[in-house]
Amino acid sequence: MDKHFLSGNEAFAYGVRLAKPNVISAYPITPQTIVVEKLSEMVENGSLESDFIHVESEHSAMSCAIGASAVGARTFTATSSQGLLYMAECLPYASGGRFPIVMMNANRSTALPWNIYGDQRDSISQLDSGWIQVYAETAQESLDLALLSYYIAEDKRVMTPVMVNLDGFTLTHTYELVDVPSKELADQFLPPFETENKLDLELPKNLGYSVGPDYNTEFKYMEHIGVRNAIAVIAQAEARFCEIFGRRYSGLIDAHLCEDAEYILITLGTIAGLCRETADTLRANGVKAGVLRLRYIRPFPNEELAAILKNAKAVGVLEKDISFGNEGTIYTNVNSALYKAGINIPSYNFIGGLGGRDITTENIEEAFHHIINGGKKVNFIGLVVDVND
């Protein structure tokens, strides 16, 4: 294996190159631009044989990926924020059409106020689009997820597109030493893309047709099952990945010191690292703290969460998202998992990191103390002004 000093964006591009997509269609947007630039460079210098299509918008990028997938091509695209929202119309076309496209999304705030920095309101707003959603924490995980995602998306039991989310700037633009696997090993891991869901001169098909009220629900049921089937396929993909590359991933969730934890903070993306450090400090001071990082939020890890949270005294959800007028969407999902499993413990929501605001160790410590001592259910953390009457 080769070691390279790569940013999250670059690592993802290296991963995509190993997956050898036949078609890449993308439109640049900060903070995603570098993944697209890097792939464009790879195609230009011949290290990646792929049709790179420069489109005029994100709506076209996704439409183009769908069209390419519909002739049996492995396809890649990437976007962020407003770009993701602009292609939103096409997202259910890709998932409902069962086109296993892989897309990288650089998590970024959504306007207005206009802001290019990181939060997760863009992707979380698209939870119901039918796409599998996974959140990376490191550049290494980003590279690996590029390969894993094709494996998962293209499995016959899944046939669902995957959105891989990288925190804007904190992951896309920070550098770390990354193991870049060899082409030979990557080929061993990822079989060529084969599908019956394509235009074919030998076996002509109707594609992307309408289905009225008589059978529409059944098609949506199958989509749902496809995403749920991903749970088993993710486990299978990660086992095979570990066999070939020697790196093990932990499925839908990544638990840190949760076995005997009384107070667990649930979060997703890069902030999990600082949460773990904070939990370690609290442990040293006698607090039984744990951190649970959600890797996949579609499929949502209902049973996996319940198995870990059942012995906790209280939990918190820290997220860079707010569903205005209600609460953070991850909090809603976690509460649903708790209720379905009959786990009746207090849960608290911490909304932070919006528009690129730093979430500090102090913020996380305060969140843990809030979980321990109780208080308001939904809390905006790290506010720089007084919001009390």
Partner 1 sequence: MKPELKIFVKPKHITDLPNGTYYEAGHLVSKNAGWRTKRPVIEPSKCVGCLQCYLYCPDGVIGKADGKVIIDYDFCKGCGICAKICKTRAIKMEAER
Which residues lie near partner 1 (CB under 8 A)?
Answer: 96-98, 159, 196-198, 203-209, 211, 215, 218-219, 221-222, 226
Shortest approach of partner 1 to residue 199 CB, angstroms? 9
* 135, two tokens: 């959140």
Shortest approach of partner 1 to residue 241 CB, angstroms? 25
Q: How far apart are CA 192 and CA 177, in angstroms?
A: 29
* The amino acid at 191: P
| 3-state secondary structure (DSSP) of residue 10 | helix
Shortest approach of partner 1 to residue 94 CB, angstroms? 11
- Cα angle 131, 133, 139; round to 5: 135
Shortest approach of partner 1 to residue 85 CB, angstroms? 24
User: Which lies closer to partner 1 via its Cβ, residue 205 or residue 313?
Assistant: 205
Shortest approach of partner 1 to residue 211 CB, angstroms? 7
Shortest approach of partner 1 to residue 222 CB, angstroms? 6
Cβ neighbours of residue 316 under 8 Å, at least 6 residues apart?
Answer: 263, 264, 265, 266, 347, 348, 349, 350, 367, 368, 370, 371
User: Which lies closer to partner 1 via its Cβ, residue 97 or residue 181?
Assistant: 97
User: Which lies closer to partner 1 via its Cβ, residue 69 or residue 120?
Assistant: 69
User: Which lies closer to partner 1 via its Cβ, residue 69 or residue 138?
Assistant: 69
Q: How far apart are CA 146 and CA 127, in angstroms?
A: 20
Q: Is the peptide bond before 31 cis (omega within 30 degrees of 0)?
A: yes
User: Which lies closer to partner 1 via its Cβ, residue 209 or residue 324?
Assistant: 209
79, 110 contact by CB (below 8 A):
no
User: Which lies closer to partner 1 via its Cβ, residue 205 or residue 377?
Assistant: 205
Q: Is the peptide bond before 92 cis (omega within 30 degrees of 0)?
A: no
